[in-house]
Structure 1
């Protein structure tokens, strides 16, 4: 089988390397990315325990490299003006987006994937006429939220795109945040806030968001990126501690965006399937974009290679020469025959059903940020932080009482120790080499 993945993000890269593993190196896999190598947009993405478990289950060699490059944030805080509120028992991982793509690209090449950078596939939508995709048995459109392939086949996919109300922009900052931090500041034009978390040793991601009224009231609609960053540094001086904001590579003169929610009635059109942001988007406030992209990749591999674990005794995988040295399963039947039509239909049905609830939750989270901060005046910060924590689903009275108790340092320290023990136990269970590392 010949497979072409269009788009060098997490969905395309992870599926491409799994296809080589699951096919035992027999299937030809090509990945085409229009950007040059090392030009990933943004600073960092977040990962949770479940996706790390999935990475170790499906490719432990690559998973260990991802984990080694990731940073742990072992708590969350909410600051409302000068008041600091702690969200106990919460932790996660983050990794620089460029570093993640570098790790996945290296692993894909190691397994024999042909990676083509600076290669734009079928810009007019005619996959049959493009030499990269003309003879492909499967085309995976993982080319992002603005997917050209999806746009060209929008009627077949039943694409629906809607926009959020608030304005947001992704920056970096030289402040090394060690906690996942939400900061809300009152200005003369209304409330403005950011989400921050570690990206690398000396850089953090900082996503600034506000209502349209605050955006225009502060004059952000008329400022160039440098001017906006300097003004926002003053607004958030209390939390940034004098550190500067950093523009991401290639930032345009109009970096502010409204969130685009992408939905598709079908993820499949013949031998073409959608994955990652091309198939669906979820508001950045739930931090699930990369996780969901990898889940798409794993699900597609599961359907195309049923029974193929891709994991051998040594975990060494498939060399570029094509022969398997890691005992990877062939998937499908022993003769290599795969019912591609049924596999793609199964993937489409499974992942669309799984995404329906996630997108509802993400929309609810987006709407919370569109309405709740505007009513912050007069709200007690601990109660506001609980509302933020509770925005996805009701966590009940017991957790609310625990949230209140966590504001006391002795209780908070006990919860931190328990959380650390829980994290190490989970890491040991999935086979991390250094379970206690940060």
Structure 2
């Protein structure tokens, strides 16, 4: 099969790697419009459940990714000067530099015989007439998808809160949330490490706070200086690092949640952010793109014909993506309605922050939800204890019976 992947992000590169493993005779080219080493963003996150899947799919790239990642198993939450809470245990989190991740996947793809062409923009699939399959992995603003937006049934809904994606030389050893109250309302950051030198720092606030603090008028330099003052308690004197723009503007955005009714048209198929996006507050975008890649390869290897394979891929991926998008929207809405929660006792705020994906929470008074949640946890603890006692008694009886 001759395959053209448009867009050199993690999804396209991982798809090319897995396809080559299935059949080295596949002729695969990845086209990326930007120069090598040029990428947006700082670090990406993933969680420990992904590790086994990466190793099962491709041990070489998995090993390199894990060796290049930093880990954390605690979460620290600052609520102004009222409280600092630390939660340890639970799922292990990982951060890896986006540029490093792309370098690993590019090197691995090339080692398997994939051609990766940088600074080669594809405007339309007619430029790829010899390809049996065209994979559109060219991001949320996919040009290939937009040419057929009516067919795909594309829909974008923008989040209310503006955010800015920054880096910092402060290396966090935990995943950090920090909420700061200003005279114009609350502003908060999410911080996590992704290398031994840098961390990601995403900062968000309501539109009223953003405008009240003057970010609608400030250039990037002034914006960064104000943000460094607001979050001095977590940055420990380290600077925030933005993205260079010719006009000096700060890169504030409103997050676009993209959905598509259909994921393929003829031999053109959508993958990753070209097919769907999930709000950054759940840290799932890269993981879902890798999952798309694996699912598409699995569908294609079934030998049922291209159209049947693409239909199978669409059908199998839509359910998990829909579930993730719903969880992400509930997470985004929790932050959009922060005043509903932030003035509760600090321990309540932290508990509700951890449950922000809940379907029920928006419809129940926060104090009542907290009490119900604590009661459920206590009952679950009693159930676990009862099971351990039951299992211990059963094992003792079995041992006595065997004698």
Classify the TM-score, shorter chain.
0.7 to 0.9
TM-score of the superposed pair, with normalisation by structure 1 = 0.80
Are residues 1:22 and 2:17 paired?
Answer: no
Give the match for residue 348 of structure 1: 314
User: How far has the Cα of 1:379 moved from its partner?
Assistant: 1.7
Match of 2:257 among 257, 261, 267: 261
Give, in whole Å, the separation in 2 of the partners of 1:217 and 1:376.
Answer: 21
- Structure 1 residue 49, shift from structure 2 partner: 1.7
Match of 2:386 in 1: none
Cα offset for 1:39? 0.8
| Post-superposition offset of 1:399 | 7.3
Return 353-362 or 187-196, whichever deviates more. Answer: 353-362
One of 193, 197, 205 as aligned partner of 1:202:
197
- Please, which of 349, 355, 362 is the counterpart of residue 390 of structure 1? 355
- The Cα shift of 1:41 comes to 0.7
Matches within 5 A, 1:9-408: 9-23=9-23, 25-82=24-81, 83-90=83-90, 91-122=92-123, 125=124, 127-128=125-126, 130=127, 133-248=128-243, 253-306=249-302, 332=303, 339-371=305-337, 373-376=338-341, 378-393=343-358, 396-397=373-374
Distance 1:345 1:377, change over 3 A: closer
Instruction: Assess, with a 3 A threshold, how the Cα gap between structure 1 residues 87 and 30 changes in structure 2: closer, same or farther.
Output: same
| Most deviating of 338-347 and 173-182 | 338-347
Following TM superposition, where does structure 1 have runs of at least 4 consecutive aligned residues deviating by more than 4 angstroms?
A: 249-252, 398-402
Distance 1:250 1:276 in 2: 26
Structure 2 length-normalised TM: 0.87
Greater strand percent: which structure?
A: 2
Aligned partners of 1:31 and 1:113 also within 8 Å: yes
| Contact 2:73–2:88 (Cα < 8 Å) also in 1 | no
For 2:178 and 2:7, locate their aligned partners in 1 and report how far apart those are by CA, in whole Å: 34
8 Å contact kept, 1:43–1:248: no
User: Using the alignment, how far apart are the partners of 1:293 and 1:17 within structure 2?
Assistant: 14
Aligned residues: 364
**Cα RMSD for the two superposed structures:** 1.7
Deviations 1:255-289 (A, max 9, x none): 00000000000011111110000000000000000
Alpha carbons 2:169, 2:240 under 8 Å: kept: yes
Greater helix share, 1 or 2?
A: 2
- How far apart are 1:52 and its partner, in Å? 1.7
Asked if the contact 1:386–1:400 (Cα under 8 Å) also holds between the matched residues in 2, the reply is: no
> Once the 2 structures are TM-superposed, how far is the Cα of residue 353 of structure 1 from its aligned partner?
2.1
Gaps of 5+ in 2: 361-371, 380-403
Contact 1:174 1:244 in 2 (8 A): yes
- TM superposition shift of 1:378: 3.1
Report the structure number with the largest CA radius of gyration: 2
The answer to whether the 8 A contact 2:76-2:86 is kept is: yes
